[in-house]
Amino acid sequence: MFHKEGHKIIFLAFVFVVGCSLLADNFIPLAWLRIIVLVLLLGFLIIILQFFRNPKRHTTLNDKQVVSPVDGKVVVIEEVFEKEYFNEKRLQVSVFMSPINVHVTRYPISGNVIFSKYHPGKFLVAWHPKASEENERTTVVVENEAYGKVLHRQIAGALAKRIVNYAKINDKAIQGGESGFIKFGSRVDLFLPLGTKIKVQLNQKVRGGESIIAEAND
């Protein structure tokens, strides 16, 4: 199953690969070189298909838990001052996505969307310290009574040239449901209340909509 954001790109990639394959078959006389070109074209198509795959995820709904919004690797766990929305200290957990990860962004908690904003910006590499403030990004805040407010921020990387955000203010977010998509590699930051129990470690691989990032501290 492929994500709707990739339908046009997949079609264009398929046309490109078929066209180049026909040209190679007709204009490259050396058999070994022709085979190399065809293999490279096939590899390119497989990468495009893999990038836009949209596997089903089974989210166990729990208003006191935060699930990972994306697939990837945890690269940041630290206390920071979040200055766009909260203007106070929060626990930041960041997940880095490589180009081969699933790039669907999912709601980390259920609740009401109370903030959603797009910021144009640069395309620094996603792990750059200033990426979360200077790169193209979107910020979404969801609130529920059991956990409170959770901010998740999609951040474009060096390869990510388009961020898609479906979240609108007053939407009803469903934990694990789609909130957006980032095309070609990036990062998502979570900003959680202080005192939250973090359930992941640095460099741990997580799955969007399934891996538990944190839970409320009773």
Q: How many CB atoms lie within 10 A of CB 143?
A: 16
Q: Is 186 a catalytic residue?
A: yes
pLDDT at 75: 92
pLDDT digits (tens, 9 = 90+) for 106-142: 999 999 999 999 988 665 655 555 556 667 889 999 9
| Nearest C-alpha neighbor of 210 from the set 83, 61, 94, 79 | 61
The model carries a pTM of: 0.83
pLDDT at residue 194 in the model = 93
Q: Of the residues 68, 116, 186, 211, which is catalytic?
A: 186
The full set of domain ranges for the chain reads: 4-51, 65-215
The CA-CA-CA angle for residues 131, 132, 138, to 5°, reads 120
Those residues whose C-beta lies under 8 Å from the C-beta of residue 90, and which sit 6 or more positions away, are 79, 80, 81, 82, 151, 191, 192, 193, 194
* Pair type for strands 212-215 and 197-198: antiparallel
Greater pLDDT, 87 or 187:
87
Q: How far is CA 216 from the centre of its chain?
A: 23
pLDDT in tens, 69-87: 999 999 999 999 999 999 9
CATH homologous superfamily of 65-215 equals Glucose Permease (Domain IIA) (2.70.70.10)
Contact 116, 168 (CB under 8 A): yes
Q: What is the mean pLDDT of the chain?
A: 87
pLDDT value for 50: 76
Beta bridge partners of 213: none
| Least confident segment among 13-27, 124-138, 160-174, 190-204 | 124-138
